[in-house]
Structure 1
Amino acid sequence: MSDSKLSFDDQIKWLKHHKVDVENEVEAQNYLKYTSYFYKMISFVKVFNNEGQCIDSFDMLIDVSTLDMELRYCLLKVCLDIEHAIKTYLLRIITNDPDEDGYHIVQEVINRDENPEGFKRKLFSSVSHYDTNGNFIISEEYQRSYANPPIWIIIEISSLGKLRSFVEYLSHKRPNNKTLQQLRESFKYINRLRNSCAHNRVLFNKNALVSMNESVPHNIYSLLRSDNLTRCEIFTPLLLQISLALRIHKVMCSSKSYQHKIDDLNEWCTRMQRNRDLYKDNAISNLFKSICKSITIYSN
Protein backbone atom coordinates (compact mmCIF):
# COMPACT_ATOMS: atom_id res chain seq x y z
CA MET A 1 0.00 0.00 0.00
CA SER A 2 1.07 3.59 -0.58
CA ASP A 3 2.01 6.18 2.05
CA SER A 4 -1.16 8.19 1.35
CA LYS A 5 -3.86 8.75 3.94
CA LEU A 6 -5.90 5.62 4.56
CA SER A 7 -9.58 5.44 5.36
CA PHE A 8 -10.56 3.32 8.37
CA ASP A 9 -11.63 0.58 5.95
CA ASP A 10 -8.23 0.74 4.28
CA GLN A 11 -6.50 0.61 7.66
CA ILE A 12 -8.20 -2.72 8.36
CA LYS A 13 -7.19 -3.93 4.89
CA TRP A 14 -3.58 -2.93 5.63
CA LEU A 15 -3.59 -4.99 8.82
CA LYS A 16 -5.03 -8.01 7.06
CA HIS A 17 -2.52 -7.63 4.23
CA HIS A 18 0.21 -7.84 6.88
CA LYS A 19 -1.33 -11.03 8.27
CA VAL A 20 -2.92 -9.47 11.36
CA ASP A 21 -6.21 -11.30 11.92
CA VAL A 22 -9.08 -8.89 12.58
CA GLU A 23 -11.94 -10.94 13.98
CA ASN A 24 -14.41 -8.08 14.47
CA GLU A 25 -13.84 -5.27 11.97
CA VAL A 26 -16.39 -2.91 13.53
CA GLU A 27 -14.76 -3.15 16.96
CA ALA A 28 -11.31 -2.78 15.41
CA GLN A 29 -12.34 0.36 13.55
CA ASN A 30 -13.85 1.83 16.71
CA TYR A 31 -10.61 1.13 18.54
CA LEU A 32 -8.61 2.92 15.83
CA LYS A 33 -11.06 5.85 15.87
CA TYR A 34 -11.41 6.44 19.59
CA THR A 35 -8.76 4.59 21.64
CA SER A 36 -5.51 4.60 19.71
CA TYR A 37 -4.56 5.42 16.17
CA PHE A 38 -3.43 3.36 13.22
CA TYR A 39 -0.10 5.09 12.59
CA LYS A 40 1.13 4.29 16.09
CA MET A 41 -0.29 0.77 16.14
CA ILE A 42 1.32 -0.32 12.88
CA SER A 43 4.78 0.55 14.19
CA PHE A 44 4.58 -2.62 16.29
CA VAL A 45 3.56 -4.68 13.26
CA LYS A 46 6.40 -3.26 11.16
CA VAL A 47 9.00 -3.98 13.86
CA PHE A 48 7.96 -7.37 15.17
CA ASN A 49 6.66 -8.90 11.98
CA ASN A 50 10.02 -8.27 10.36
CA GLU A 51 11.34 -10.70 12.96
CA GLY A 52 8.84 -13.37 11.92
CA GLN A 53 5.08 -13.60 12.23
CA CYS A 54 4.86 -12.26 15.80
CA ILE A 55 1.71 -10.12 15.85
CA ASP A 56 -0.96 -12.25 14.21
CA SER A 57 -4.15 -10.85 15.71
CA PHE A 58 -5.70 -7.48 16.50
CA ASP A 59 -6.11 -8.57 20.13
CA MET A 60 -2.37 -9.14 20.38
CA LEU A 61 -1.72 -5.77 18.73
CA ILE A 62 -3.92 -4.05 21.32
CA ASP A 63 -2.14 -5.84 24.15
CA VAL A 64 1.34 -4.94 22.88
CA SER A 65 0.31 -1.31 22.45
CA THR A 66 -1.22 -1.18 25.95
CA LEU A 67 1.82 -2.77 27.57
CA ASP A 68 4.08 -0.30 25.78
CA MET A 69 2.03 2.64 27.05
CA GLU A 70 1.88 1.35 30.63
CA LEU A 71 5.62 0.67 30.71
CA ARG A 72 6.29 4.18 29.42
CA TYR A 73 4.20 5.64 32.26
CA CYS A 74 6.11 3.60 34.85
CA LEU A 75 9.53 4.45 33.44
CA LEU A 76 8.75 8.14 33.04
CA LYS A 77 8.30 8.35 36.82
CA VAL A 78 11.67 6.66 37.25
CA CYS A 79 13.35 9.13 34.89
CA LEU A 80 11.71 12.20 36.45
CA ASP A 81 12.89 11.06 39.87
CA ILE A 82 16.41 10.72 38.48
CA GLU A 83 16.21 14.18 36.91
CA HIS A 84 15.21 15.73 40.22
CA ALA A 85 17.89 13.77 42.09
CA ILE A 86 20.61 14.88 39.66
CA LYS A 87 19.62 18.52 40.03
CA THR A 88 19.67 18.22 43.83
CA TYR A 89 23.00 16.37 43.74
CA LEU A 90 24.70 18.95 41.49
CA LEU A 91 23.52 21.82 43.66
CA ARG A 92 24.70 19.99 46.78
CA ILE A 93 28.20 19.56 45.34
CA ILE A 94 28.41 23.19 44.28
CA THR A 95 26.97 24.54 47.55
CA ASN A 96 29.51 22.54 49.56
CA ASP A 97 32.46 23.71 47.43
CA PRO A 98 34.01 26.82 49.05
CA ASP A 99 35.83 27.65 45.79
CA GLU A 100 32.67 27.69 43.70
CA ASP A 101 30.28 30.66 43.69
CA GLY A 102 27.72 29.06 41.38
CA TYR A 103 28.52 31.42 38.52
CA HIS A 104 31.97 30.16 37.62
CA ILE A 105 30.84 26.64 36.74
CA VAL A 106 28.23 27.93 34.29
CA GLN A 107 30.73 30.16 32.50
CA GLU A 108 33.25 27.30 32.38
CA VAL A 109 30.76 24.88 30.86
CA ILE A 110 29.45 27.46 28.37
CA ASN A 111 32.94 28.49 27.25
CA ARG A 112 33.99 24.88 26.69
CA ASP A 113 31.30 24.43 24.05
CA GLU A 114 32.30 24.88 20.42
CA ASN A 115 29.47 27.42 20.07
CA PRO A 116 29.22 29.15 23.47
CA GLU A 117 26.45 31.59 22.58
CA GLY A 118 24.39 28.92 20.85
CA PHE A 119 24.79 26.59 23.83
CA LYS A 120 23.82 29.38 26.22
CA ARG A 121 20.67 30.05 24.22
CA LYS A 122 19.81 26.34 24.38
CA LEU A 123 20.14 26.49 28.16
CA PHE A 124 17.58 29.31 28.18
CA SER A 125 15.36 27.83 25.47
CA SER A 126 12.51 26.99 27.87
CA VAL A 127 12.20 30.65 28.89
CA SER A 128 12.84 32.35 25.55
CA HIS A 129 11.59 32.63 21.98
CA TYR A 130 12.47 34.25 18.65
CA ASP A 131 10.25 37.10 17.50
CA THR A 132 9.08 37.66 13.93
CA ASN A 133 12.31 39.54 13.17
CA GLY A 134 14.47 36.68 14.39
CA ASN A 135 15.48 38.41 17.62
CA PHE A 136 16.20 36.20 20.62
CA ILE A 137 13.80 37.26 23.38
CA ILE A 138 14.19 36.06 26.96
CA SER A 139 11.28 36.07 29.40
CA GLU A 140 11.42 39.18 31.56
CA GLU A 141 11.87 37.13 34.73
CA TYR A 142 15.20 35.75 33.46
CA GLN A 143 16.63 38.69 31.50
CA ARG A 144 18.85 39.86 34.36
CA SER A 145 20.34 36.38 34.74
CA TYR A 146 21.25 35.85 31.11
CA ALA A 147 24.50 37.85 31.05
CA ASN A 148 26.00 35.92 33.96
CA PRO A 149 23.69 33.02 34.88
CA PRO A 150 24.12 31.17 38.18
CA ILE A 151 23.83 27.41 38.36
CA TRP A 152 20.60 27.51 40.38
CA ILE A 153 18.87 29.35 37.51
CA ILE A 154 20.23 26.86 34.97
CA ILE A 155 19.02 23.98 37.13
CA GLU A 156 15.57 25.57 37.44
CA ILE A 157 14.99 26.03 33.71
CA SER A 158 16.76 22.95 32.35
CA SER A 159 15.44 19.52 31.50
CA LEU A 160 17.65 16.48 31.99
CA GLY A 161 19.45 16.58 28.65
CA LYS A 162 20.81 20.10 29.21
CA LEU A 163 22.52 19.02 32.42
CA ARG A 164 24.81 16.53 30.70
CA SER A 165 27.61 19.06 30.13
CA PHE A 166 27.57 19.99 33.83
CA VAL A 167 27.75 16.35 34.91
CA GLU A 168 30.67 15.79 32.53
CA TYR A 169 32.46 18.91 33.76
CA LEU A 170 32.13 17.96 37.42
CA SER A 171 33.05 14.33 36.79
CA HIS A 172 36.34 15.42 35.22
CA LYS A 173 36.98 17.87 38.08
CA ARG A 174 36.27 15.12 40.63
CA PRO A 175 37.65 11.90 39.12
CA ASN A 176 37.40 10.04 42.44
CA ASN A 177 33.65 10.64 42.75
CA LYS A 178 32.23 7.28 41.66
CA THR A 179 28.65 8.55 41.53
CA LEU A 180 29.60 11.29 39.08
CA GLN A 181 31.57 8.84 36.95
CA GLN A 182 28.65 6.43 36.77
CA LEU A 183 26.27 9.29 36.01
CA ARG A 184 28.50 10.58 33.23
CA GLU A 185 28.70 7.22 31.52
CA SER A 186 25.00 6.40 31.99
CA PHE A 187 23.63 9.83 31.17
CA LYS A 188 22.89 9.57 27.46
CA TYR A 189 21.12 6.23 27.82
CA ILE A 190 18.86 7.45 30.63
CA ASN A 191 18.14 10.68 28.76
CA ARG A 192 17.10 8.72 25.66
CA LEU A 193 14.71 6.69 27.78
CA ARG A 194 13.36 9.81 29.45
CA ASN A 195 12.71 11.50 26.11
CA SER A 196 10.99 8.43 24.66
CA CYS A 197 8.68 8.21 27.67
CA ALA A 198 8.04 11.95 27.96
CA HIS A 199 7.23 12.36 24.26
CA ASN A 200 5.10 9.20 24.00
CA ARG A 201 7.40 7.43 21.56
CA VAL A 202 6.87 3.70 21.48
CA LEU A 203 9.44 1.70 23.43
CA PHE A 204 8.88 -1.56 21.58
CA ASN A 205 10.65 -0.43 18.43
CA LYS A 206 13.80 -1.66 16.72
CA ASN A 207 15.82 -0.61 19.79
CA ALA A 208 14.01 -3.32 21.71
CA LEU A 209 15.25 -6.05 19.39
CA VAL A 210 18.40 -5.05 17.52
CA SER A 211 21.88 -4.99 19.04
CA MET A 212 23.21 -1.45 18.84
CA ASN A 213 26.23 -0.54 16.78
CA GLU A 214 27.81 1.83 19.31
CA SER A 215 30.05 0.49 22.04
CA VAL A 216 29.07 0.42 25.70
CA PRO A 217 31.55 2.02 28.12
CA HIS A 218 33.67 -0.68 29.77
CA ASN A 219 32.68 0.36 33.29
CA ILE A 220 28.98 0.24 32.42
CA TYR A 221 29.37 -3.12 30.72
CA SER A 222 31.22 -4.55 33.74
CA LEU A 223 28.63 -3.24 36.20
CA LEU A 224 25.71 -4.70 34.28
CA ARG A 225 27.45 -8.03 33.74
CA SER A 226 28.03 -8.16 37.50
CA ASP A 227 24.28 -7.53 37.89
CA ASN A 228 23.71 -10.72 35.88
CA LEU A 229 22.65 -9.18 32.57
CA THR A 230 23.82 -11.06 29.50
CA ARG A 231 25.95 -9.50 26.80
CA CYS A 232 22.99 -9.63 24.42
CA GLU A 233 20.76 -7.80 26.91
CA ILE A 234 23.39 -5.11 27.52
CA PHE A 235 23.69 -4.46 23.80
CA THR A 236 19.92 -4.21 23.31
CA PRO A 237 19.30 -0.43 23.65
CA LEU A 238 15.95 -0.59 25.45
CA LEU A 239 17.16 -3.14 28.01
CA LEU A 240 20.36 -1.16 28.55
CA GLN A 241 18.40 2.04 29.13
CA ILE A 242 15.95 0.42 31.56
CA SER A 243 18.69 -1.33 33.53
CA LEU A 244 20.80 1.81 33.88
CA ALA A 245 17.78 3.90 34.87
CA LEU A 246 16.89 1.46 37.64
CA ARG A 247 20.50 1.23 38.78
CA ILE A 248 20.94 5.02 38.92
CA HIS A 249 17.57 5.50 40.60
CA LYS A 250 18.58 3.03 43.30
CA VAL A 251 21.84 4.93 43.88
CA MET A 252 20.47 8.48 43.81
CA CYS A 253 16.89 8.39 45.08
CA SER A 254 15.38 7.49 48.43
CA SER A 255 14.71 3.85 49.21
CA LYS A 256 11.02 4.66 49.68
CA SER A 257 10.76 6.30 46.26
CA TYR A 258 12.70 3.46 44.69
CA GLN A 259 10.40 0.84 46.20
CA HIS A 260 7.33 2.65 44.87
CA LYS A 261 8.75 2.58 41.33
CA ILE A 262 9.76 -1.08 41.61
CA ASP A 263 6.26 -1.93 42.86
CA ASP A 264 4.78 -0.18 39.79
CA LEU A 265 7.10 -2.10 37.48
CA ASN A 266 6.37 -5.41 39.17
CA GLU A 267 2.68 -4.69 38.63
CA TRP A 268 3.50 -4.20 34.95
CA CYS A 269 5.13 -7.64 34.90
CA THR A 270 2.00 -9.11 36.45
CA ARG A 271 -0.15 -7.28 33.91
CA MET A 272 2.07 -8.62 31.14
CA GLN A 273 1.20 -12.18 32.17
CA ARG A 274 -2.55 -11.56 31.88
CA ASN A 275 -2.70 -12.30 28.17
CA ARG A 276 0.34 -14.55 27.87
CA ASP A 277 -1.74 -17.08 25.90
CA LEU A 278 -1.67 -14.61 23.00
CA TYR A 279 2.08 -14.97 22.69
CA LYS A 280 4.17 -17.86 21.56
CA ASP A 281 7.87 -18.21 22.29
CA ASN A 282 8.74 -15.38 19.92
CA ALA A 283 10.53 -12.04 19.84
CA ILE A 284 7.79 -10.29 21.83
CA SER A 285 7.60 -12.82 24.65
CA ASN A 286 11.41 -12.95 24.83
CA LEU A 287 11.53 -9.15 25.09
CA PHE A 288 8.94 -9.12 27.87
CA LYS A 289 10.87 -11.80 29.77
CA SER A 290 14.09 -9.78 29.49
CA ILE A 291 12.41 -6.59 30.75
CA CYS A 292 10.95 -8.44 33.74
CA LYS A 293 14.34 -10.02 34.39
CA SER A 294 15.90 -6.55 34.68
CA ILE A 295 13.11 -5.41 36.99
CA THR A 296 13.61 -8.49 39.17
CA ILE A 297 17.38 -7.97 39.32
CA TYR A 298 16.98 -4.43 40.59
CA SER A 299 14.10 -5.28 42.92
CA ASN A 300 16.60 -6.76 45.39
Structure 2
Amino acid sequence: MKKKGITFNYCSESEAKEFLKKNNNYFRVSAYRKMYDHYPSGENKGKYRDLDFQYLRELSTIDMHLRFLIIKMCLDIEHYLKIDLLAKAESVNDDGYESIDKFFSDSKYQYIKKNIYYKRNATYCGDLINYCFEFDDDNETISNYSKCRLWDFLECITFGDFLKFYEYYHKEHNIENKYEKLIPSIKSLRNACAHNNCILSQLRKSDCMPNKQISNFISGIYGISPSVRRLRLKSRVIYEIVCLIYVYKELTPETIKKHRFRELNSFVNGRMVKNKQYFENQQIIKSSYSFFKKIIDNI
Protein backbone atom coordinates (compact mmCIF):
# COMPACT_ATOMS: atom_id res chain seq x y z
CA MET A 1 0.00 0.00 0.00
CA LYS A 2 2.80 2.42 0.85
CA LYS A 3 4.43 1.71 -2.51
CA LYS A 4 1.14 2.73 -4.16
CA GLY A 5 1.06 6.03 -2.28
CA ILE A 6 -1.44 5.08 0.43
CA THR A 7 -0.56 6.94 3.63
CA PHE A 8 -1.13 6.14 7.30
CA ASN A 9 -1.59 9.61 8.77
CA TYR A 10 -4.98 8.96 10.38
CA CYS A 11 -4.48 5.29 11.15
CA SER A 12 -1.15 3.81 12.23
CA GLU A 13 0.33 0.87 10.37
CA SER A 14 -0.14 -1.35 13.41
CA GLU A 15 -3.83 -0.35 13.63
CA ALA A 16 -4.23 -1.07 9.92
CA LYS A 17 -2.68 -4.52 10.33
CA GLU A 18 -5.02 -5.27 13.23
CA PHE A 19 -8.03 -4.09 11.20
CA LEU A 20 -7.05 -6.26 8.24
CA LYS A 21 -6.57 -9.27 10.50
CA LYS A 22 -9.80 -9.04 12.46
CA ASN A 23 -12.32 -6.88 10.59
CA ASN A 24 -11.70 -7.04 6.86
CA ASN A 25 -9.11 -7.99 4.27
CA TYR A 26 -6.81 -6.12 1.93
CA PHE A 27 -8.66 -7.13 -1.24
CA ARG A 28 -11.98 -5.72 -0.02
CA VAL A 29 -10.65 -2.57 1.66
CA SER A 30 -8.42 -1.69 -1.27
CA ALA A 31 -11.39 -1.96 -3.69
CA TYR A 32 -12.40 1.60 -2.78
CA ARG A 33 -9.10 3.00 -4.08
CA LYS A 34 -10.74 2.99 -7.55
CA MET A 35 -12.41 6.26 -6.61
CA TYR A 36 -9.05 8.00 -6.20
CA ASP A 37 -6.83 9.56 -8.84
CA HIS A 38 -3.16 8.90 -9.51
CA TYR A 39 -0.45 11.48 -9.91
CA PRO A 40 -0.03 11.82 -13.69
CA SER A 41 3.64 12.82 -13.57
CA GLY A 42 6.56 13.72 -11.33
CA GLU A 43 8.25 11.71 -8.59
CA ASN A 44 4.91 10.29 -7.41
CA LYS A 45 3.70 9.32 -10.88
CA GLY A 46 1.31 6.37 -10.71
CA LYS A 47 0.78 6.70 -6.95
CA TYR A 48 -2.58 7.57 -5.42
CA ARG A 49 -3.28 11.19 -4.66
CA ASP A 50 -4.57 12.11 -1.17
CA LEU A 51 -5.44 8.57 -0.14
CA ASP A 52 -5.03 7.50 3.47
CA PHE A 53 -5.78 4.00 4.73
CA GLN A 54 -8.34 5.46 7.14
CA TYR A 55 -10.34 6.76 4.16
CA LEU A 56 -10.57 3.23 2.75
CA ARG A 57 -11.49 1.89 6.17
CA GLU A 58 -14.27 4.48 6.54
CA LEU A 59 -15.66 3.76 3.06
CA SER A 60 -15.77 0.03 3.80
CA THR A 61 -17.74 0.73 7.00
CA ILE A 62 -20.20 3.07 5.26
CA ASP A 63 -20.65 0.48 2.51
CA MET A 64 -21.42 -2.23 5.07
CA HIS A 65 -24.17 -0.14 6.71
CA LEU A 66 -25.61 0.77 3.31
CA ARG A 67 -25.72 -2.89 2.21
CA PHE A 68 -27.63 -3.84 5.35
CA LEU A 69 -30.23 -1.13 4.68
CA ILE A 70 -30.55 -2.13 1.03
CA ILE A 71 -31.09 -5.80 1.92
CA LYS A 72 -33.91 -4.85 4.30
CA MET A 73 -35.55 -2.74 1.62
CA CYS A 74 -35.18 -5.51 -0.98
CA LEU A 75 -36.81 -8.03 1.36
CA ASP A 76 -39.69 -5.63 1.89
CA ILE A 77 -40.07 -5.17 -1.87
CA GLU A 78 -40.08 -8.94 -2.44
CA HIS A 79 -42.82 -9.34 0.17
CA TYR A 80 -45.04 -6.57 -1.20
CA LEU A 81 -44.57 -7.64 -4.82
CA LYS A 82 -45.99 -11.00 -3.76
CA ILE A 83 -48.88 -9.27 -2.00
CA ASP A 84 -49.43 -7.21 -5.15
CA LEU A 85 -49.46 -10.33 -7.34
CA LEU A 86 -51.96 -12.14 -5.14
CA ALA A 87 -54.26 -9.10 -5.23
CA LYS A 88 -54.08 -9.11 -9.03
CA ALA A 89 -54.76 -12.86 -9.08
CA GLU A 90 -57.95 -12.23 -7.10
CA SER A 91 -59.00 -9.52 -9.56
CA VAL A 92 -58.79 -11.97 -12.50
CA ASN A 93 -60.51 -14.78 -10.53
CA ASP A 94 -57.43 -17.01 -10.54
CA ASP A 95 -58.24 -20.19 -8.60
CA GLY A 96 -54.61 -20.64 -7.63
CA TYR A 97 -54.05 -23.77 -9.75
CA GLU A 98 -54.56 -22.82 -13.40
CA SER A 99 -51.84 -20.17 -13.51
CA ILE A 100 -49.24 -22.61 -12.15
CA ASP A 101 -50.28 -25.25 -14.69
CA LYS A 102 -49.94 -22.77 -17.57
CA PHE A 103 -46.61 -21.49 -16.29
CA PHE A 104 -45.07 -24.96 -15.98
CA SER A 105 -46.43 -25.92 -19.40
CA ASP A 106 -44.23 -23.25 -20.98
CA SER A 107 -40.92 -24.72 -22.09
CA LYS A 108 -39.07 -21.51 -21.15
CA TYR A 109 -39.64 -22.14 -17.44
CA GLN A 110 -38.73 -25.82 -17.09
CA TYR A 111 -35.52 -24.86 -15.31
CA ILE A 112 -37.61 -23.54 -12.40
CA LYS A 113 -38.83 -27.10 -11.80
CA LYS A 114 -35.21 -28.11 -11.30
CA ASN A 115 -34.59 -25.16 -8.98
CA ILE A 116 -37.51 -26.29 -6.81
CA TYR A 117 -36.25 -29.88 -6.91
CA TYR A 118 -32.90 -28.78 -5.49
CA LYS A 119 -34.70 -26.94 -2.65
CA ARG A 120 -36.81 -29.94 -1.59
CA ASN A 121 -34.65 -30.58 1.49
CA ALA A 122 -34.40 -26.93 2.54
CA THR A 123 -34.91 -26.38 6.26
CA TYR A 124 -37.57 -23.70 6.09
CA CYS A 125 -39.56 -24.47 2.94
CA GLY A 126 -38.78 -28.16 2.35
CA ASP A 127 -41.98 -29.39 4.03
CA LEU A 128 -44.15 -27.15 1.87
CA ILE A 129 -42.27 -28.14 -1.29
CA ASN A 130 -42.66 -31.84 -0.55
CA TYR A 131 -46.38 -31.35 0.12
CA CYS A 132 -46.99 -29.44 -3.12
CA PHE A 133 -44.82 -31.43 -5.52
CA GLU A 134 -43.88 -34.95 -6.51
CA PHE A 135 -40.41 -35.50 -7.96
CA ASP A 136 -38.65 -37.38 -10.70
CA ASP A 137 -35.28 -38.13 -9.11
CA ASP A 138 -33.78 -39.58 -12.30
CA ASN A 139 -34.22 -36.28 -14.13
CA GLU A 140 -33.97 -34.07 -11.02
CA THR A 141 -37.23 -32.31 -11.73
CA ILE A 142 -40.91 -32.13 -10.72
CA SER A 143 -43.19 -34.88 -11.97
CA ASN A 144 -46.47 -33.65 -10.44
CA TYR A 145 -47.57 -30.22 -9.22
CA SER A 146 -51.34 -30.72 -9.01
CA LYS A 147 -51.41 -29.80 -5.30
CA CYS A 148 -49.54 -26.54 -5.79
CA ARG A 149 -51.54 -23.33 -5.57
CA LEU A 150 -50.33 -19.89 -6.50
CA TRP A 151 -49.75 -18.76 -2.92
CA ASP A 152 -47.83 -21.97 -2.16
CA PHE A 153 -45.69 -21.53 -5.26
CA LEU A 154 -44.61 -18.03 -4.25
CA GLU A 155 -43.16 -19.42 -1.00
CA CYS A 156 -41.20 -22.16 -2.79
CA ILE A 157 -39.20 -20.18 -5.32
CA THR A 158 -36.17 -17.92 -5.26
CA PHE A 159 -36.39 -14.16 -5.69
CA GLY A 160 -35.03 -14.44 -9.24
CA ASP A 161 -37.57 -17.10 -10.19
CA PHE A 162 -40.35 -15.08 -8.58
CA LEU A 163 -39.44 -12.07 -10.72
CA LYS A 164 -39.67 -14.25 -13.83
CA PHE A 165 -43.10 -15.43 -12.74
CA TYR A 166 -44.18 -11.89 -11.84
CA GLU A 167 -43.28 -10.73 -15.35
CA TYR A 168 -44.96 -13.76 -16.93
CA TYR A 169 -48.17 -13.33 -14.92
CA HIS A 170 -48.66 -9.73 -16.00
CA LYS A 171 -48.19 -10.61 -19.65
CA GLU A 172 -50.40 -13.71 -19.43
CA HIS A 173 -53.29 -11.72 -17.96
CA ASN A 174 -52.59 -8.50 -19.87
CA ILE A 175 -52.04 -6.53 -16.63
CA GLU A 176 -49.89 -3.43 -16.55
CA ASN A 177 -46.51 -4.06 -14.91
CA LYS A 178 -45.33 -0.59 -13.96
CA TYR A 179 -42.12 -1.91 -12.40
CA GLU A 180 -41.08 -4.10 -15.33
CA LYS A 181 -38.13 -1.94 -16.40
CA LEU A 182 -36.95 -1.28 -12.83
CA ILE A 183 -37.04 -4.71 -11.20
CA PRO A 184 -33.89 -6.03 -12.97
CA SER A 185 -31.88 -3.19 -11.41
CA ILE A 186 -33.27 -4.00 -7.96
CA LYS A 187 -32.40 -7.66 -8.47
CA SER A 188 -28.86 -6.70 -9.48
CA LEU A 189 -28.44 -4.54 -6.38
CA ARG A 190 -29.96 -7.17 -4.10
CA ASN A 191 -27.61 -9.85 -5.43
CA ALA A 192 -24.59 -7.58 -4.99
CA CYS A 193 -25.53 -6.89 -1.36
CA ALA A 194 -26.46 -10.51 -0.63
CA HIS A 195 -23.02 -11.58 -1.88
CA ASN A 196 -21.42 -8.83 0.20
CA ASN A 197 -19.90 -7.06 -2.79
CA CYS A 198 -18.25 -3.67 -2.28
CA ILE A 199 -20.91 -1.64 -4.06
CA LEU A 200 -19.51 1.85 -3.46
CA SER A 201 -16.24 0.87 -5.09
CA GLN A 202 -18.08 1.07 -8.43
CA LEU A 203 -19.20 4.71 -8.16
CA ARG A 204 -17.02 5.77 -11.07
CA LYS A 205 -18.60 3.34 -13.53
CA SER A 206 -20.82 5.41 -15.82
CA ASP A 207 -22.33 3.04 -18.38
CA CYS A 208 -26.00 3.33 -17.41
CA MET A 209 -28.92 4.57 -19.50
CA PRO A 210 -31.60 5.56 -16.96
CA ASN A 211 -35.24 4.62 -17.39
CA LYS A 212 -37.68 7.47 -18.08
CA GLN A 213 -39.62 6.77 -14.85
CA ILE A 214 -36.47 7.31 -12.82
CA SER A 215 -35.43 10.42 -14.74
CA ASN A 216 -38.89 11.91 -14.17
CA PHE A 217 -38.74 11.01 -10.48
CA ILE A 218 -35.41 12.79 -10.03
CA SER A 219 -36.49 15.78 -12.14
CA GLY A 220 -39.15 16.51 -9.52
CA ILE A 221 -36.59 16.86 -6.73
CA TYR A 222 -35.62 20.42 -5.84
CA GLY A 223 -31.95 21.26 -6.12
CA ILE A 224 -30.98 18.61 -8.71
CA SER A 225 -30.31 20.23 -12.07
CA PRO A 226 -30.87 18.35 -15.37
CA SER A 227 -27.10 18.12 -15.97
CA VAL A 228 -26.44 16.70 -12.49
CA ARG A 229 -29.35 14.30 -12.89
CA ARG A 230 -28.00 12.97 -16.19
CA LEU A 231 -24.45 12.69 -14.86
CA ARG A 232 -25.26 10.94 -11.60
CA LEU A 233 -27.78 8.50 -13.10
CA LYS A 234 -25.10 7.29 -15.49
CA SER A 235 -23.51 5.59 -12.47
CA ARG A 236 -24.98 2.09 -12.29
CA VAL A 237 -24.68 1.94 -8.50
CA ILE A 238 -26.51 5.22 -8.02
CA TYR A 239 -29.13 4.34 -10.64
CA GLU A 240 -29.88 0.98 -9.00
CA ILE A 241 -30.19 2.56 -5.56
CA VAL A 242 -32.56 5.20 -6.96
CA CYS A 243 -34.65 2.44 -8.61
CA LEU A 244 -34.86 0.73 -5.22
CA ILE A 245 -35.98 3.93 -3.48
CA TYR A 246 -38.55 4.75 -6.18
CA VAL A 247 -40.17 1.29 -6.21
CA TYR A 248 -40.12 1.21 -2.42
CA LYS A 249 -41.87 4.57 -2.30
CA GLU A 250 -44.52 3.45 -4.78
CA LEU A 251 -45.11 -0.10 -3.53
CA THR A 252 -44.91 -0.34 0.24
CA PRO A 253 -47.62 0.71 2.75
CA GLU A 254 -47.25 4.09 4.43
CA THR A 255 -46.27 2.76 7.89
CA ILE A 256 -43.55 0.49 6.50
CA LYS A 257 -42.29 3.24 4.20
CA LYS A 258 -42.08 5.82 6.99
CA HIS A 259 -40.11 3.46 9.23
CA ARG A 260 -37.58 2.51 6.56
CA PHE A 261 -37.15 6.05 5.24
CA ARG A 262 -36.47 7.25 8.79
CA GLU A 263 -33.66 4.69 8.90
CA LEU A 264 -32.30 5.95 5.60
CA ASN A 265 -32.51 9.55 6.74
CA SER A 266 -30.69 8.77 9.98
CA PHE A 267 -27.95 6.98 8.05
CA VAL A 268 -27.50 9.64 5.36
CA ASN A 269 -27.50 12.58 7.76
CA GLY A 270 -25.72 10.72 10.56
CA ARG A 271 -23.29 7.83 10.10
CA MET A 272 -22.50 8.65 6.48
CA VAL A 273 -21.08 12.07 7.40
CA LYS A 274 -19.51 11.12 10.72
CA ASN A 275 -16.03 11.56 9.21
CA LYS A 276 -16.85 13.74 6.22
CA GLN A 277 -13.54 15.59 6.55
CA TYR A 278 -11.81 12.52 5.08
CA PHE A 279 -13.43 13.18 1.71
CA GLU A 280 -13.11 16.95 1.37
CA ASN A 281 -10.85 16.56 -1.67
CA GLN A 282 -12.69 13.68 -3.32
CA GLN A 283 -15.24 15.08 -5.75
CA ILE A 284 -16.87 11.83 -6.88
CA ILE A 285 -17.69 10.91 -3.27
CA LYS A 286 -18.92 14.40 -2.35
CA SER A 287 -21.09 14.83 -5.44
CA SER A 288 -22.57 11.32 -5.15
CA TYR A 289 -23.37 11.93 -1.50
CA SER A 290 -24.96 15.31 -2.25
CA PHE A 291 -27.18 13.73 -4.91
CA PHE A 292 -28.22 10.89 -2.60
CA LYS A 293 -28.90 13.25 0.30
CA LYS A 294 -31.21 15.45 -1.77
CA ILE A 295 -33.27 12.39 -2.73
CA ILE A 296 -33.53 11.18 0.87
CA ASP A 297 -34.35 14.66 2.19
CA ASN A 298 -37.07 14.96 -0.44
CA ILE A 299 -38.81 11.70 0.46
DSSP 3-state at the match of 2:104? helix
Query: Per-residue displacement from partner, 1:224-282 (whole Å, max 9, x unpaired)?
Result: 44457612222221111111111111222121211111111112222222211111142
For 1:219 and 1:113, the matched residues in 2 are separated by: 32
Higher helix proportion: 1
Against the structure 1 CA distance between its residues 217 and 289, is the aligned structure 2 distance closer, same or farther, given a 3 Å change threshold? Answer: closer
For 1:205, what is the secondary structure of its paired residue? helix
The answer to whether the Cα contact below 8 Å between 2:8 and 2:53 also exists between their aligned partners in 1 is yes
Q: 2:25 aligns with which of 24, 37, 40?
A: 37
Partner residue, 1:3: none
* Offset of residue 48 of structure 1: 1.5
Structure 2 residue 25 is the aligned partner of structure 1 residue 20 = no
- Equivalent residue, structure 2, for 1:282: 283
Q: Secondary structure at the match of 1:184?
A: coil
* Structure 2 contact 221–295 (Cα < 8 Å) conserved: no
Contact 2:179-2:247 at 8 Å conserved across structures: yes
TM superposition score normalised by structure 1 = 0.79
Gaps of 5+ in 1: 1-14, 130-137
The CA distance in 1 between the partners of 2:50 and 2:80, in whole Å, is 39
Task: Report the identity percentage.
Answer: 21
Give yes or no for contact 1:48–1:283 (8 Å, CA) kept in 2. Answer: yes
CA shift for structure 1 position 124:
4.8
Cα distance change of structure 1 residues 191 and 125 upon mapping to structure 2, 3 Å threshold: farther
Checking the alignment, whether the CA contact within 8 Å between 1:161 and 1:191 is kept in structure 2 is yes
Between 223-232 and 102-111, the greater mean CA deviation after superposition: 223-232
1:80-91 alignment runs, 5 A limit: 80-91=75-86
Q: Is 1:143 paired with 2:133?
A: no
Matches of 1:120 and 1:199 in 2, distance apart? 24
Residues 122, 217 of structure 1: alpha-carbon distance in 2 compared, 3 angstrom cutoff: farther
C-alpha distance in structure 2 between counterparts of 1:192 and 1:117, whole Å: 23
- In 2: Cα distance, 1:55 partner to 1:110 partner: 57
Partner Cα distance (1:176, 1:111) in 2:
20
Runs of 4+ in 1 over 6 A off after TM superposition: none
| Counterpart for residue 153 of structure 2 | 154
Checking the alignment, whether the CA contact within 8 Å between 1:239 and 1:294 is kept in structure 2 is no
The alignment's TM-score, normalised by the length of structure 2, stands at: 0.79
